[in-house]
Amino acid sequence: MEKRATDQPARLRRERRTVRAMIGIYCRHHHGGAPMCGACAELAAYADRRLDLCPYGPDKPACSNCPIHCYRPEPRERIREVMRFAGPRMIWRHPYLAIRHVLDERRTAGEPPTSRTPG
């Protein structure tokens, strides 16, 4: 059974909104148009899947502070490019998400759980 967004902790829902907002800013500037292009929508879906599989669950640190790198090299470089571009612009377009993201980056990664039970 697939998890619905409302079944997830607020922290993970906010993380998804932040990533999608960043990809949206990047896509609008680089690829034009209001809806995300196919490549950017695919990157957003990939980021969603990675969040679903994160061993830290709702206690996850920011990916930049995480000892486990669960993105494959190519999507990881793409998301870095997106964040480098969109990060500074987030404060103007999505101030709440931007501030929360900066605060989340201060989280340190503890030991990941040895196993996560699917919910």
Alpha-carbon distance 99 to 104, whole Å?
A: 9
DSSP-H helix ranges across 2-117: 10-31, 38-53, 73-93, 95-105
pLDDT tens for residues 48-107?
Answer: 999 888 888 777 777 777 778 788 999 999 999 999 999 899 999 999 988 888 887 777
The phi, psi pair for 106, rounded to 5°, reads: -80, -15
Q: Give the residue from 15, 13, 79 showing the smallest Cα distance to 42.
A: 79
pLDDT tens for residues 41-55?
Answer: 999 999 999 988 888
Residue 119 clears pLDDT 50, i.e. is over it: no
pTM for the model: 0.80
